[in-house]
Homo-oligomer: A and B are copies of this chain.
Amino acid sequence: MRLQVPVTLRWADLDAYGHVNNVEVLRLLEEARIAAFWRHGPDSAQTAVLESGPDAATHTFVVSTEVEYLLPIGYHRDPVTVELWIGRLGGASIDVCYRIMAPADHRPGAAPSEPVPHVNARTTIVVVDAATGRPRRLGAAEREAWQPYLEPPIEFRRRGGR
């Protein structure tokens, strides 16, 4: 199952070229991941929790990221959609996959158009025991909670150096 997370652009995301800066694109992915998988509060029944703040018993750290930019993202008032799923459940790590969908025509006043893929990405996250600072294995309950979001990993069109 892919989650569809709306993320609101900020005008400040644009750089001097008038597009969302390529670094800010990762910020959009981060915000989508937090919106989707951050615990909603101590009494939440939510089980698929990935990030839970500096005070939690489990920390999560990003250990690697890969991003492919297909089209520049222009400024839109309406949120873009970040499709988000789990591409791999490892022993102590998780691959989160993303695809950013946005209208191809972002000129102000343009007729709304069908969203098309603008960005493919993958983030590998390691689960760390906050007390020891060491990676720890994902438990059975955690695996079960993540299972519904497991799909084949994102396929990149090109990869650097190959």
Contact = CB atoms under 8 A, between A and B. Distances in A.
- Quickly give the copy total for this chain: 4
A4 interface: no
A106 to B, nearest CB: 11
Nearest to A124: B160
A144 interface: no
Contacts of A139: none
A17 B10 CA distance: 15
A160 B54 contact: no
B12 A14 contact: no
B15 A12 contact: yes
Contacts of A10: 27, 31
A136 interface: no
18 contacts: A11-B38, A12-B15, A22-B30, A22-B65, A23-B26, A23-B27, A23-B30, A39-B108, A41-B108, A43-B109, A62-B69, A66-B159, A66-B160, A88-B160, A95-B161, A123-B160, A124-B160, A153-B161
